[in-house]
Amino acid sequence: MLITLGKGKFILNAHADVYARAAMEAYADACEATSSERARRIRESLYLGRRMPLCVQTALRIVREAQVVGRLRADYSESAWLQVLHTLELIEREPEVIKMFSNWPGSNPR
């Protein structure tokens, strides 16, 4: 992906640079609402069809922020939120664990 910032240009190589991949994944998420076709093409080029995002840290941050808002609701369940957070933390530590899920390509669910 070529990015032009004022005087400089940057080329993000998502297949060689995990940070570039994360940036392109975030870009696809950001443009989804207004340019779903662009987002789809980016995800296809990154092979992200049904995969966990590369930016598990981003997912954790968003879930933690949503949990703060969730605590204001009468039907808030601490145990449910903790289960989600613990699962994301596990995936961050041990990415291979995602293969336990049945919708993961090449998975072998128990």
Per the prediction, the chain carries an average pLDDT of: 80
pLDDT of amino acid 19: 82
pLDDT at 51 over 60: no
The encoded tokens of residue 4 equal 């032009």
As to burial, measured by CB atoms within 10 angstroms (0-12 exposed, 13-18 middle, 19+ buried), residue 30 is exposed
Indicate yes or no: pTM above 0.75.
Answer: no
* Pairwise CA distance, residues 5 & 45, whole Å: 23
